[in-house]
Structure 1
Amino acid sequence: MRRKAQVLPEPVGARSGRAGDGPLLRVLIAGDSSAAGVGVATQDHALSGQIVARLARDFTVEWRLEATTGHTTRVTLGCLQQAQKPVDVAVTALGVNDVTRGRTRAQFVAHQRALLAHLTGPLQARCVVVSGVPQMARFPALPQPLAWVLGQQAARLDTGLHALTREFPQAHHLSHDLPDDPSLAATDGYHPGARLYDLWAGQIVQVIRDQLRARS
């Protein structure tokens, strides 16, 4: 699969900026290739661009994207520990690379616990949207029985992640409750396409609004 897979680049565009008008909201988006927006051509159509565009309707959004193809939870934590700038909201998208690199549920949960502790501690995030581990059994690019095997492991890791978020009052686990429609995937059959990023971003922003409203 690795030898035959179509390799898509990360989209072009800004990875930090300021947008909108209203109360200041500092937003961090961190994770792997899905957080980086692989599957679309520009960051405007990727997860970060879709989130910022929605939030900018009501806030002055000061945002940054810390995401790279291939990053696991542990690697992402290491990158974030080098930049200690506080945020109000953090969004994470991780798990696929932890699955493909054979992380056990215990290892994954330990790395995620350290990540959440860093986001809610030194980075001071008062709202963290933790995207669930994608349902890899649905990835069009994966043949059977590989799709089933990876899907089972992804589900195990996500169960552990869901339970972990209950330890952090600032965190909300967002299940990947998105349409099972292969046409929503990018051309590689592995990453989201523009429409799927749009749907995902809409769910994330709804959680952010709900969490901020509850804490106001």
Structure 2
Amino acid sequence: DIVFEVVCPSIPGYGFSEAPHKTGFDSVCAARIFHKLMRRLGYQQFYAHGGDWGWLVTSNMAQLEPRIIKGLHVNFAPPSTLGLPLALSLMFGWWFPRLFGFTDMDIQRLYPCMEKLVKESVAESGYMHIQATKPDTVGRALNDSPVGLAAYILEKFSTWTCHDFRDLEDGGLTRKFTLDDLLTNVMIYWTSGCIVSSMRFYKENFGKGLDQPHSKMPVHVPT
């Protein structure tokens, strides 16, 4: 039989994990803290999984101490840096596919997806821009209103579950989740008051720019 233990920490500033006391707390800082946590718990080696911000934190963990991370699994893997060649190929590959090494099949598969991706990114990324630039402004307002906080959080449960739910009067919230599940998520933010500190994590990461040293570092562990 295979026996394993799951350690599922919250990023400092999320849920009931104490918020950082200093500015500059980004994904690399979180990665260092999680390594310290695992050492204190007695783990010499372990596997790591991450999604959303966890993708970046666990990737940083693998970059920092590759001999400790036996394997890395992520369910969200955007390109760490776009780079000029990639940007040019995406912008002009439709008109000059051979110049950028695209086949006809590449064009058929890539550009309908890119068009949809761009449209959806523009339509659904407003929260990210707010949190990456003005986290305290919107966060203070949400901490003052449980209804406002619920609306802000649950809107994502609707649109990120199924884009068609945007057209439903109730957002289709209970088609995939129970009210208990939804309210439990909201109450974690409300009772801990962590919405501001969780939003600051966006600012600390995006505020330093997307071209950070770790974005160019390879991940050597099995991924």
TM-score by length of 2: 0.28
Whose relative contact order is higher, 1 or 2, with alpha carbons under 8 Å and at least 6 apart?
2
Q: Comparing both structures, which one devotes a greater share of its residues to strand?
A: 1
Q: Comparing both structures, which one devotes a greater share of its residues to helix?
A: 2
TM-score by length of 1: 0.29
